[in-house]
Structure 1
C-alpha cells in the first residue's frame, strides 16, 4: 500500500485495572490508505474503540509503532498530539461530546477559533447548513434531539476539513431512521471533503458501505474478518 495515511506496527495496549494490567490490544499491524473507508467490527469488548482511540492518539500504544500522515506518535507529548489532531483529524463519538453551555454554532466554531481560523463562525454556520441544522444554530444541546446533536458533532468534526475522520459508533444512540440519516451525512461529508474515514460500528448496513472491513476478536485482528464490502 503506497503512502498509507495510518500505519500500525505490532501495536499493543495495556490499561491499568483494579486487579492489575488489562491487555486490550495484541500485536495489531495494519495500514489504512488515503481516501479509504475502513470499518472496524467485532463483538463488544473486542477492542474496536480502543484501536480507534490509538489511531487518533487519544490512547497511547503500550508497545509498537503508530504512524499517522507520516508522523510517529511514539513519544509525542499531549500538547503536540492535541495540535496534530486539531489540524488533521475529526473525531465523532457515540455520546456526541458537545459542550452543554455552548450553542450549536459555538460548538462547531470553537475548534476553528482555536486553530486560528478568522472566519470560524461563518465556516461553522455553513457547516451547520450542510447538515441541515442552520435553523438550530442558536440552540443548546439540551434543546436538541439525539439525531440533531449527532449532526452538530458531525459538523464540528468536518468543519476544519480534516484529512482523517474517526467515528466511534456514530449511530449507536440513535433510532433506525435517524441513524440512516447520520450514515448518509457521514459518507456525504467524506465524499465532499475527500477524507479518509475509519469507523467503529455494530451496524451491518454501515459496514457494507465501507471499502474494507476489519474484524477484531479479543484484541486481535481476525484474519477471516479481513474483507471488502462485507457485513459482520
Structure 2
C-alpha cells in the first residue's frame, strides 16, 4: 500500500475557553489514502469540524502528529502552511466564504492568481462551466442564490486541482434538492481530479456514498468505521 496522503498519530486538540482549557480531540490515529472518499459523522460538538481543521493545518495539534502529503504540519510555520493549502488543498465551508466585492469569476480566479498561474481566469471560467455557472460568471455573490454561491465555492476549491478536498457540512445551508445537486458536483469534482475527499456531514445517506465512514463521539474515534458495500 502507498503512503497515506493524510496521517494522524495520537493527535489531540485543546483550546483555551472562557472556563479554562477545553479538550476537543483525544488521541486521534487515522490514515487516509490517495483518492479515498471519507465521511466524518457524529453528534454535534463531537469534534468533526475540529478534526477537519487539523487535517488542513487550520488548527495545530496540541500533541501527537499530523502529516499531510509527507509534511509534518506541526513543524511548519504559518506561511508554509498557507502555501501547502494553496497548492494542495481545496476547502469548502458551509458558509461559502465568497468575497462579496468580487464576481463569481474573480472569486474563483483569485487563489489561482495568488499561486502564480498565468491562465487563472481561463481556468476559473472552465471550473464555473463545470459546475453549471458559465452564464453567471459576472455576477456578484449577492446576485446569486445559496446553491449558486456554494457552486462558486466548489469551483474555487477545485480550480487548483487539489490533492485533498475538505468539506465541512457543504450542504448545511441549502434545501434538500439543491444540496443533493451540490453533493453530486462535489463527488464528481473529486473523481475528475483524483482528489482525496474528506467531508463532515450529519446525513447518513451522504455518508453512505463515501468509501469509508468515520464516527467521532466526544472527540474520540469510535470502532464503527466502515467501508460501504
- What range describes the TM-score normalised by the shorter chain of this pair? over 0.9
Task: Summarize deviations over 1:206-227 as a string: whole Å, max 9, x none.
Answer: 101000000000000011x211
Q: Which residue of 2 aligns with 1:76?
A: 76
Aligned length: 229
Work out the CA distance in 2 between the residues paired with 1:153 and 1:212. 24
Q: How far is the alpha carbon of 1:2 from its aligned partner?
A: 2.9
State the match for 2:4 in structure 1.
4
Residue matched to 2:162: 162
**Structure-2 residue corresponding to 1:93:** 93
Offset of residue 75 of structure 1? 2.4
Matched, 1:113 2:106: no
- Cα distance in 2 for partners of 1:16, 1:75 equals 21
Aligned to 2:26: 26
For 1:11-38, what per-residue CA distance to the aligned partner results, in whole angstroms no more than 9, with x for missing partners?
0000110010100000000000111001
Q: Which residue of 1 aligns with 2:47?
A: 47
Kept in 2: contact 1:53–1:59 (CA 8 A): yes
What is the correspondence of 1:214-225 to structure 2 with a 5 Å cutoff?
214-223=214-223, 225=224
Please give the secondary structure, in 1, of the residue aligned with 2:74.
coil
* In structure 1, distance between residues paired with 2:127 and 2:35: 21
Contact 1:108 1:155 in 2 (8 A): yes
- Partners of 1:70 and 1:6 in 2: CA distance: 8
* Structure 2 Cα separation of the partners of residues 74 and 166 of structure 1: 19
Moved over 3 A (4+): none
Alignment of 1:227 onto 2:209: no
Q: Gaps (5+ residues) in structure 2?
A: none
2:75 partner SS? coil
> How does the TM-score come out when normalised to structure 1?
0.97
Query: Are the counterparts in 2 of residues 166 and 199 from structure 1 also a CA contact under 8 Å?
Result: yes
Counterpart in the other structure of 1:206: 206
Cα deviation code 1:180-216 (max 9, x no counterpart): 0001000000111010000000111110100000000
* SS across alignment from 1:180: helix
1:174 aligns with 2:174: yes
**Aligned residue for 2:56?**
56
Structure 1 unaligned residues grouped into runs of 5+? none
Instruction: Find the counterpart in structure 2 of residue 128 from structure 1.
Output: 128
Q: Distance in 2 between matches of 1:66 and 1:155?
A: 27
1:207 touches 1:229 (CA, 8 Å); kept in 2?
Answer: no
Q: CA RMSD in A?
A: 0.8
Taking structure 2 as the reference length, what is the TM-score of the superposition? Answer: 0.99
